[in-house]
């Protein structure tokens, strides 16, 4: 596994699935007796995402052009 210039690594899919890591999950690195462990944060330490429950429920009946005109203030 290679570390990027930004200090990033890709967690292998097998590991993500094994410990249940999904996009937007928070993880921690713990040091114990000279070893580093990656652990998924428990829900107690995660900040609740107030928008997560609303994701995918919008039912706007406008075209993209209408939405763009509305956001731009076009008349």
In 10 A of CB 26, how many CB atoms? Answer: 12
Which sequence spans correspond to the domains of the chain? Answer: 13-72
How far apart CA 12 and CA 6 sit, in angstroms, is: 18
Query: Taking the CA of residue 3 as centre, how many other CA atoms within 13 Å lie in the half-sphere pointing to its CB?
Result: 3
Residue 34 confidence (pLDDT): 93
Q: What is the pTM of this model?
A: 0.48
Banded pLDDT at 36 (limits 50, 70, 90): very high
Residues whose CB falls within 8 Å of the CB of residue 30, separated by 6 or more in sequence, listed in order: 36, 37, 39
């Amino acid at each position: 596994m290679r570390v990027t210039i930004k200090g990033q690594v890709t967690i292998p899919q097998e590991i993500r699935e094994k410990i249940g890591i999904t996009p937007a999950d928070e993880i921690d690195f713990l040091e114990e007796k000279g070893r580093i462990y990656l652990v998924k944060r428990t829900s107690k330490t995660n900040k609740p995402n107030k928008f997560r429950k609303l994701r995918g429920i919008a039912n706007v009946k406008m075209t993209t052009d209408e939405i763009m005109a509305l956001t731009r203030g076009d008349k």
